[in-house]
Structure 1
Amino acid sequence: MIRLPFALAALCLSVSTFAADPFDDKFRQLDELLPPASTIRTASGAPGQAYWQQRADYTIRATLDEANRSIRGAGTVTYHNNSPDTLHYLWVQLDQNIYKPNSDARMSTTVAREAWAKPRNPEEGLKFDALRATFEGFTFEGGFNITSVKSGGRQLAHVINRTMMRIDLPQPLKPGQRFSFDVEWNYRINEQKVLGGRSGFEKFDDKNDLFEIAQFFPRMAAYYDTYGWQHKQFLGAGEFTLEFGDYDVAITVPADHIVASTGVLQNPREVLSAAQRERLERAKKSNKPVLIVTQAEAEQAEKTRASTMKTWRFKANNVRDFAFASSRKFIWDAQGLKSGELDVMAMSYYPKEGNPLWEKYSTHAIVHTIEQYNKYSFDYPYPTAISVNGPVGGMEYPMISFNGPRPTKDKKTGELTYSKRTKYGLIGVIIHEVGHNYFPMIVNSDERQWTWMDEGLNSFVQTLAQEAWEENWPEMRGEPRLITDYMKSRNQVPIMTNSESLLQFGNNAYAKPAAALTVLRETVLGRELFDFAFREYARRWKFKRPTPADFFRTMEDASGTDLDWFWRGWFYTTDAVDVSVDGISEYTISSQNPETEKAWRRRMKQAEPVSLTDQRNKGMPRRVDAHPELKDFYNRYDDFTVTNADRNKFAESQEKLEDWEKALLSSGKHLYLVDFSNVGGLVTPLVLEITLASGKKYIERIPAEVWRYSPKKITKLVVTDEPMTGLTQDPFWETADIDQDNNAWPRKPAPSRLELFKTERGGNDMMKDFNAKLKTKEERAAEDAKKEKDTVPKIQ
């Protein structure tokens, strides 16, 4: 501990250490990275007075051929050119073409050799199952077969470029005009368990199929101000960028099928029984799920095959996509809820293989999702919200989602049961996929370009909803502590990387953005500022298409906080949070009173260890003891004796002190200069837990701007009322610090467990070698001769 002169103590109230190398301004603005503001997208992050977006309305007639597992469809698309640009052609997405053998996705597929080419045992062949999806991707004849593209009865010139189709307009489409065209198509449905994908069919042992159908019609590509046509090829990772519109869809399926769909059923009397319609009416007022189709009814339907077809008609307004599911296996339950002033039907569809898990949790999870997401964004605006159990593990569409977790059979009893992982996996995936109605089905970001804008934001709100489900939720993707392993790995790219170039999709697009927003909410802004800004972003861009810049700017504008340093570090770099507590120097303020200060120095001297030499010389004869006449003034008084000269000097100095200086001198404060290093490169707020000698602990929060003058090393003054005995940076693991070992003073040992177990000795056996040395010369010579004999080759 160092006694600090008063003037120096005052100076140390603002201490920082400047880096010797060139200055790296972590707080420079993002102007060089963000597009300039305009009348379309303002500098505040809001849509401007000149904002525009295109629109596409659809009338579709589709037929499900169960026997051949195919779709046949025809439809009319009305495209509204709301842009200021004159268009000479339109681009249409043909996403099913990803299943054509020559698609970019198939042709660019690689395989991990170690995943399939190494047999478990030398006697086994190659593990072909791991290669099956890749192999069948080249043999499955999928993709759209476009049979007609017309307008006004005339064929339209069109060119198919893998997963995109260009339609050449007969005359330019000017601003404010609209254009309608008719298209007919068919395609084979993929087996989802084999080929994967975001839709497909599932086979069951009872010879029934379950169909989850999406991307089943040619969809208009998006055209918008910052990108033009979004016609980047569909490779499988980057999802869908679409325009809003109204849908009128007729779906013809076997008469014994139940259909779940985007939109509202228009003809319930034609497709539902009187009992089912009555149950639906009852479900609207119920506070718990009501079975519309019971398990017994679904099991009975599985035993027969209808020879006729039924057409289900649905309408959906102001949606960006449309999907449906169909099967005779479906159990169906529903529950009504209020979203603002709107009546909403939460509904679940699942086969008997989903019970007892689905009937207990699915619809409750839908209701919970809407209630929670409404708090953090806006009231759910659609009349239905659906969760379907099928082969797709988790995928979202407007008003409908496909979710996978199911129970498994107990090996002993044969009964269906589920693990804790399966239970929370189901609830979590339903929250996530239903939550996608908000991001990006309504806040309509460009998924093909920026996966994090829908997956990351949605995963963040998902964590908030999960926290509200129960106290000890077992998995929290948005927890900062859970992203640290990824952030210290070398397999990173910045969050602001195109969807198709992400190395670790789940960590980069889901977990890291969610963790970043948690840090922003809990540590940087606080909940009140963050929640207001986040709701403002959702409100501004509801039914519009935001870009990353719009999100960044809105969060700053609505929170009143410059966050450019945060976006730059978390989203544009692969830097990590790693703050090291390098050292602490302790100071107390000198009172200048000689009575106090010399007594303090005496105690410091007495506290020093006695040297070994002095210890051994203790008691030895000294001349001055034998001749006392040699002692004088300096032997009677030591360096810590207070003299009158000391007292007079102190009295004079007190007359010159101001009142605030006297108060500080009498306060007895303890001063500590704490040295921090930014090892990871990502600047962060400091969260300091300070422990005092009395055992009291308190938290001191320091904003990230503490690094603005010196982003690599700083020294921070900490003032306490009593001696400090410990200091920990990030005590709650809230900043995603990747190395907790360097966060404390004094350093804390890393706790772990030592597993004790027996092993067979192998390799060098020291006792065996020792015993070998005890053998006689004759014994060793005999052994050597035998070895030599055994190694001589035999002549046949």
Structure 2
Amino acid sequence: MKQLLLLPLLSCLVLGAWAQQENTNTNKFRQLYTELPTPNVYRNAAGAPGHEYWQQKADYVIDIELDDEQQRIYGEETVTYTNNSPDPLEYIWVQLDQNMRAKDSDTYKIQQSEMDDRMSSGQLKRLTPTFDGGFKLDYVRDASNKPLPHIVNKTMMRIDPPAPIQPGEQFVFKVKWWYNINDRMEIGGRSGYEYFEEDDNYLYTIAQFFPRMAVYNDVEGWQNKQFLGRGEFTLPFGDYKVNITVPADHLVASTGTLQNANDVLPRDKRKKLEEARAERETPVIIYSEEEARENEKTKSDKKKTWTFAAENVRDFAFASSRKFIWDAMGVEQSDGSVVMAMSMYPKEGNPLWERYSTKAVAHTLKWYSHYTFDYPYPVAWSIHAKSIGMEYPMICFNFGRPESDGTYSERVKYGMIGVIIHEVGHNYFPMIVNSDERQWTWMDEGLNSFLQYLAEQQWERDYPSRRGPAYKIVDYMKGDKSKISPIMTNSESIYQFGNNAYGKPATALNILRETIMGRELFDYAFKVYANRWMFKHPSPADFFRTMEDASAVDLDWFWRGWFFTTDHVDIALDDVKYYRMDTKDPLVESKISKEQRSESPQYISSLRNARDIEQTQDEIDPALRDFYTDYDPLDFDILDKEAYDRYLNSLTAEEQEMLKAGQNFYQMSFRNAGGLVMPIIVQLQFKDGTTEDHYIPAEIWKMNDEVVKKVFITDKEIAQVVLDPYLETADVDTGNNYYPPRTQLNRFEMFKRQGTSRWGGGENPMQRARRAKEKEEGTN
């Protein structure tokens, strides 16, 4: 560190950058007025629903049959659509999401393809679609069974009522359809079936299986963006009654509550469900693995209809198989209500699923409710489905399959627990806080990934969360900007979907909570947002405004930087200048000056002269030596002491106290190398081994977002200065975070392919431990 002298009156300190000229066109602290929509009677400036807020409603009565021989769904539905808007509707739009799998789908057309010199038959087959997907519509009729004019535009269908649907009116229509269920393991998909060749059985996880009303609201009008496969679903709330006909030996899990348990479940199973409702610690087995193994050996040629009802949900999904094991337990909420946490899974999911799934469901309900609101639905299902994680109201499909010998890697275990927390958590966002997934993926995936991180940390100390901590987003943030999108980008146009829509917003919220706002302010504001918009349709502006309105923290700079740009965080500590008060005390100052002189580097000629010149002339002829030969201007005498006393007497009492304090002054220069303004977090590490943390708000950059300076006054001398010591800000280059600069350790290794990995691949640690034990026992 460089030491300079500081004048007693400190007149050289510049405590503010008032001379900097603000560029109003690029200032990073300008308000978000131009980016956000104007508040109105539907959505107010505080981020809450306005006094004239409205939303539509769509109620369904659906009859479904699952054809286990041909893997088809047959369905009929009656939809009652209520127009709560102030607008007459000349037409309505219905989503036909299965049409994404039609052979002429735009999803296939827009996929890029290329040829290699060597290609497998599977790769060649994927060049053109062969699966006959998509809805096959038998009819579209009105309440009187008269045909309704309609037109199918890819994944959307427009229905033209005989007359405009007036505000407050209801419109009833009927649709009959069927479609081929996709093999998820072959062609992918959020829903579909998995075939188990060993026992010749199917496990169905079924969603997007019926024509669904699109959303009409005050923000978009009709949200009728085509479904291309990535941007998920935007749906109105409504009430459902669904009759699901399946083979008689199947078990069915579904959105809603079972209405005809007496018809489809034996008395002993109904009794076990009642026992499970009262259980709080260990899930009760409703159908055991032994029963499931026995059940999958034969196939019934009879059918059974399961009836479910659900109120105020935005969607509906179900799962069906004769392979299912079923367990359940009750989760008591703060209002005294009990939610049934339940799981269904095949034997292939054990022992993992029986041990963890339902407990993970219960854990999720506990902690998500803690940060938002009590879970308002009666049930929460977790369904085992290999290679998928997908959410629907009250039910979700989750991966996590152990090896056939029952062992599993850490990656499988924590991946399974994490995906269950994530997908069950989606009940809150977007199934209840009903954001527009087709448009803004981050509003459900990002917020949910953030809460997933909080819930995971409550599950186990140092849980290996994939997303949330600031340092885990660094590699993405510092990447090639031509392949990075702002968070505020439409779902279909996002580069690096997982990082952009899940990781970055989750990290941003964690930084808000830990560093910008603090946990208390953040948690309160976040809960206000969740409660304001539960069972409603929020927009990004509603979230941004609510978080500010409920906390009194101006966050426009934060939303702009993190959500509207691709800037990254890189704050560099460029320079530290060390000042101490010039005491004028000859005893003190002489000693300091002599120490500095002794520590100063010596000129090369002087060093060589001391070695090469045997005698100087004054050493040969002592007569040449006089008073100045040995004079040291840094020595002091009685006259210096008298001058110092006169100086002290000339100072005020306050100035004398400042001299006695002997404080150290450090002027630090910070450079915003990454472009994204953030608080400056400085740790001062003193020579005596103690530390001191300083949090400087991001507003220090408001007059100059490139370089700022700050003076720190300490009683002790500093040995090291560290920026972002707790990895809070996602700083992409910690190499420039130290003064004096610290050597960065990088490692290289001899590469040799290994047969095992902690996180998967080869023999997992459980298998290795088992083999070692067997070898030891064999030796003994």
TM-score relative to the length of structure 2: 0.91
1:653 is displaced (CA, Å) by 4.7
The answer for the alignment partner of 2:132 in structure 1 is: 141
Contact 2:685 2:691 in 1 (8 A): yes
**Are residues 348 and 32 of structure 1, via their aligned partners in 2, closer, same or farther at CA, if it must alter by over 3 Å?**
same
User: Which of 42, 45, 54 pairs up with 1:43?
Assistant: 45
Q: CA deviation at 1:670?
A: 1.0
Q: Give 3-state SS (helix, strand or coil) of 1:82's partner.
A: coil
**1:423 matched to which residue of 2?**
413
User: Mean alpha-carbon deviation: is it higher for 698-707 or for 221-230?
Assistant: 698-707
| Matching of residue 218 in structure 1 with residue 220 in structure 2 | no
Change (3 A) 1:346 1:195: same
Q: Counterpart of 2:566 in structure 1: which amino acid?
A: T
Name the residue aligned to 2:776.
none
The worse-fitting range, judged by mean Cα deviation, of 9-18 and 191-200 is 9-18
Aligned AA for 2:6? P
Report which stretch shifted further, 659-668 or 373-382: 659-668
Residue by residue over 1:68-106, the C-alpha shift from the partner in whole angstroms, topping out at 9 and shown as x without a partner, is 111111111111111111111100000011011111112
Deviations 1:97-147 (A, max 9, x none): 10111111121112365xxx364xxxxxx1333455554xx2211111121
Q: How does 1:506-521 map to 2 (within 5 A)?
A: 506-521=498-513
Alignment of 1:294-313 (within 5 A): 294-313=288-307
User: Is contact 1:198-1:392 (8 Å) kept?
Assistant: no
Any conservation in 2 of the 1:74–1:182 contact (CA below 8 Å)? yes
**Alignment match, 1:198:** 190
Q: Do structure 1's residue 703 and structure 2's residue 703 form an aligned pair?
A: no
Give the corresponding residue for 1:99.
101
Compared CA separation, residues 118 and 62, structure 1 to 2 (3 A): same
CA shift, 1:660, in A, is 3.5
- Cα separation, 2, equivalents of 1:612 and 1:313: 94
Could you tell me which of 691, 694, 707 is aligned with 1:713?
707
The answer as to 2:593 corresponding to 1:601 is: yes
Q: C-alpha separation between the residues in 1 aligned to 2:618 and 2:300?
A: 122
Q: Provide the residue aligned with 1:253 in structure 2.
A: 246
Separation in 2, partners of 1:368, 1:507:
26
- What SS does structure 1 have at the residue aligned with 2:459? coil
The answer to whether residue 141 in structure 2 is matched with residue 150 in structure 1 is yes
**Cα-to-partner distance string for 1:250-289 (whole Å, 9 max, x where unaligned):** 1111111110000000000100111211111111111311
Matched residue, 1:285: 278
Query: How far 1:665 sits from its partner (Å)?
Result: 1.9
Q: Distance in 2 between matches of 1:448 and 1:702?
A: 38
**Aligned counterparts of 2:442 and 2:585: Cα–Cα separation in 1:** 63
Deviation at 1:539, TM superposition (A): 0.9
SS in structure 2 at match of 1:91: strand
User: Which segment drifts farther, 746-755 or 579-588?
Assistant: 746-755
1:456 pairs with one of 446, 456, 472: 446
- The reply to whether residue 473 of structure 1 matches residue 463 of structure 2 is yes
SS at match of 2:501: helix
Which residue matches 1:404?
Answer: 399
Cα separation, partners in 2 of 1:48 and 1:757, compared to 1, 3 Å = closer
Do the aligned residues in 1 keep the contact of 2:4 with 2:577 (CA within 8 Å)? no
**Structure 1 residue 620 displacement after superposition:** 2.6
Superposed, 1:150-549 pairs within 5 Å as 150-151=141-142, 152-205=144-197, 206-287=199-280, 288-340=282-334, 341-391=336-386, 393-409=388-404, 415-490=405-480, 491-549=483-541
Distance 1:330 1:194 in 2: 22
Does the C-alpha gap of structure 1 residues 356 and 111 become closer, same or farther in structure 2, counting only changes over 3 Å?
Answer: farther
Quote the residue 2:83 is aligned against.
81
Gapped runs of 5+ residues in structure 1? 120-125, 410-414, 759-796
Distance 1:737 1:273 in 2: 59
Distance 1:536 1:103 in 2: 42
3-state SS, counterpart of residue 166 of structure 1: strand
The one-character-per-residue Cα deviations of 1:625-667 (angstroms, maximum 9, x if unpaired) are 84658735x5675423447776666555545544443322211
* Residues in 2 aligned to 1:541 and 1:756: alpha-carbon distance in whole angstroms: 55
The alpha-carbon distance between structure 1 residues 757 and 162, as it changes in their structure 2 partners (threshold 3 A), is closer
AA matched with 2:657: A
- 2:10 is aligned with 1:9: yes
The answer to whether the Cα contact below 8 Å between 2:386 and 2:401 also exists between their aligned partners in 1 is no
Verify: 1:620 aligned to 2:615, yes or no: yes
CA contact (8 A) 1:101 1:140 kept: yes
> Helix, strand or coil for the counterpart of 2:722?
strand
Corresponding residue SS for 2:485: coil
Following the alignment from structure 2 to structure 1, what is the Cα–Cα distance between the partners of residues 349 and 126?
A: 25
Residue 161 of structure 2 aligns to a residue in which SS? Answer: strand
User: Match of 2:162, SS?
Assistant: strand
How far 1:230 moved relative to its partner?
A: 0.4
Match of 2:662 among 646, 668, 674: 668
Determine if contact 2:75/2:178 at 8 Å carries over to the other structure: yes
Indicate the larger mover: 593-602 or 424-433. Answer: 593-602
Aligned to 1:771: none
Rg comparison, structure with higher value: 1
Q: Once superposed, what is the RMSD of the aligned Cα atoms?
A: 2.2
Distance 2:606 2:201 in 1: 95
Q: Is the 8 A contact 2:77 2:175 kept in 1?
A: yes
Rounded to whole Å, the distance in 1 between the matches of 2:671 and 2:123 is: 47
Rounded Cα–Cα distance in structure 2 between residues aligned with 1:457 and 1:332: 30
Corresponding residue of 1:774: none
- 1:40, distance to aligned residue in structure 2 (A): 1.2
What letter matches 1:5 in structure 2? L
TM-score by length of 1: 0.89
On the 8 A contact 1:346/1:366 being kept in 2, the answer is: yes
Counterpart residue number, 1:559: 551
Q: Is the 8 A contact 2:56 2:216 kept in 1?
A: yes
Q: Secondary structure at the match of 1:325?
A: strand
Distance 1:392 1:606, change over 3 A: closer
Assess if the C-alpha contact under 8 Å between 1:98 and 1:104 holds in 2: yes
Q: Equivalences for 1:677-696 in 2 at 5 Å?
A: 677-696=671-690
Of 54-63 and 717-726, more deviation after overlay is shown by 717-726
Cα separation, 1, equivalents of 2:625 and 2:275:
112
Tell me the equivalent position of 1:762: none
> How far off its partner does 1:513 sit?
0.7
Unpaired stretches in structure 2, ≥5 consecutive residues: 753-780
In structure 1, distance between residues paired with 2:78 and 2:643: 99
Q: Distance in 2 between matches of 1:646 and 1:576?
A: 56
Distance in 2, Cα, partners of 1:316 & 1:430: 22
CA offsets 1:335-356 (integer angstroms, 9 cap, x no match): 1111232211111011111111
Q: Contact 2:8 / 2:581 at 8 angstroms: preserved in 1?
A: no
Asked if residue 580 in structure 1 is aligned to residue 581 in structure 2, the reply is no
User: How far, CA to CA, are the matches of 2:83 and 2:749 in structure 1?
Assistant: 69
